[in-house]
Structure 1
Amino acid sequence: MAEIAPRDGARPGVLLSWSGGKDSAWTLQQLRRRDDLEVTGLLTTITEGYGRASMQGVRVEVLRAQAEAAGLPLLEAEIPKECDNTAYQAVFAAALERARARWPGLERIAFGDLFLADIRAWREALCARLGWTALFPLFGADTATLARAMIAAGLRTHLCCVDTRQLDAGFAGHAFDASLLDALPAGVDPCGENGEFHSCVEAGPMFSRALALRRGETVLRDGRFAYTDFLAPG
């Protein structure tokens, strides 16, 4: 796998919201293709007491391994188990303050959202209120085309969370590949942008090396979400 180009520090910095999944990983790839910005670090939210990325369920050890493979520092923001909007915003604001203390003058943060306009507007308003500019490098892309472009470029990821109200639990743990895309029922977004599924990335052009994650068990939580565990190597 190709080595990640060194960062020269001469361009304006941007923080990247990191979930450990394909969309945030591909956003990193797209940002690194630009000559007007430099990704300085990754920001992830971890659920208190679980040590996992919120919603996706990716273990913090895996997130750290991903960040190391990407050659970037990972800022971890811990949210409570029962996190309402007010609590989330407070944690997010504190995390951005820590980021700016580490990188003075930093004022941009990127997200991997694809087409949900209401989510984008909410993020933009929140960031603006905190003195930050939100960027959405993938927004508006055709998700069917985007999904196959990710796969063709060597992105390797598996479904780590499936919403069983939208997609059969049997898809949990499945590789995000052409066979998966062909098997998705009509109405399910190829990138899971409507929350049908989330993923955990183990390799791709944004990483200096593959992670060789180990697959664990699949469990149903809250009577709705099928989570497949992925463990860091070692």
Structure 2
Amino acid sequence: MSWSGGKDSALGLHHALQSPDLRPTHLLTTLNEHYQRVAMHGVRAELLHTQARRIGLPLHEVWLPEMPSMEVYEQRMRAALDALAAQGVRTSLFGDLHLRDLRQYREQQLARAGWQARFPIWHKPAAELWAEFFDLGFRAVVVCTNEQHLDPSFCGRELDRDFLRDLPPSVDPCGENGEYHSFVYDAPYFSQPIAVQRGERVRRTYQASRPAAEDDATDCYRAQPDPFSAAFWYCDLLLAPAVGAVEQPTRAH
């Protein structure tokens, strides 16, 4: 299972565990070597390890540099796939919902390694997924928001019905376009909830490589004010001393 620790991979795993023709055996996660955190989500590695223990599946970590090239990313992912294939694993599961180009990329890369891809929650309606999320007892915290889509106040919030009601109309309710990312601290297949507390909230900016010519930029890039820079807010989560509800932030700026 391609595992980010967020709600989509958590729901995808739930559906895989319920499927008669799937048997999840491992979790696979990419992490940032510099920060020792889950790539994109910014979640500490120790919280990822706690999730894996609560689920009861072994975790395979793929460590990446701060801003990896596609060549480096694909090389390290291929090494991870080869290691898992040696254990008899040949299928990768994803929590993607409706980004067709991303699905095609995953399928093509896996096919080159002799693997297949499965998407347990592909094209499921958002309302249906959210009903499952709440009814089954999933609980999560928003750990990262994209400043282009959401103001900082959304970062660190509980992923609940109030959060969904407050989302701007332009934001995908599942955050499928990268508007926000989350950390699941309780799920129906966890042995017990993970007690976490919110730490500081920080802003990080990233600069992407600009195309050599204006014509090389896609229309969606040209439509943005500064398409080659991005700012994200991260809420640092820490393991709390005892099991219970998520505690209030200790500090934020």
Tell me the TM-score normalized by structure 1: 0.90
Corresponding residue number in structure 1 for 2:117? 134
Number of residue equivalences: 217
Shift of 1:108: 0.3
Alpha-carbon distance in 1 for matches of 2:147, 2:130: 21
Q: Does 1:230 align with 2:230?
A: no
1:23-172 map, 5 Å: 23-101=8-86, 103-104=87-88, 106-172=89-155
Alpha-carbon distance in 2 for matches of 1:74, 1:109: 14
Contact map agreement 1:215 1:230 (CA 8 A) in 2: yes
Unaligned regions of 5+ residues in structure 2, if any? 206-229, 242-253
1:214-225 map, 5 Å: 214-222=197-205, 224-225=231-232
Amino acid of the structure 2 residue aligned with 1:50 = Y
Aligned with 1:76: secondary structure? strand
Shift of 1:219: 0.5
Provide Cα deviations, 1:130-181, integer angstroms capped at 9, x if missing partner: 1110111111011233123212211100100000101111100011101111
* Larger RCO (alpha carbons 8 Å, 6+ apart): 1
* Higher Rg: 2
- Runs of 4+ off more than 2 Å: none
Tell me the TM-score normalized by structure 2: 0.83
Amino acid of the structure 2 residue aligned with 1:171 = F
Unaligned regions of 5+ residues in structure 1, if any? 1-15
Instruction: Give aligned-pair identity as a percent.
Output: 43
Provide Cα deviations, 1:56-100, integer angstroms capped at 9, x if missing partner: 111110000000000100001101112011111001000111112
Structure 1 window deviating more from structure 2 (37-46 vs 144-153): it is 144-153
Alpha-carbon distance in 2 for matches of 1:51, 1:231: 14
Provide Cα deviations, 1:107-148, integer angstroms capped at 9, x if missing partner: 100011010000000000000011110111111011233123
Corresponding residue number in structure 2 for 1:8? none
Match among 188, 201, 205 for residue 205 of structure 1 = 188
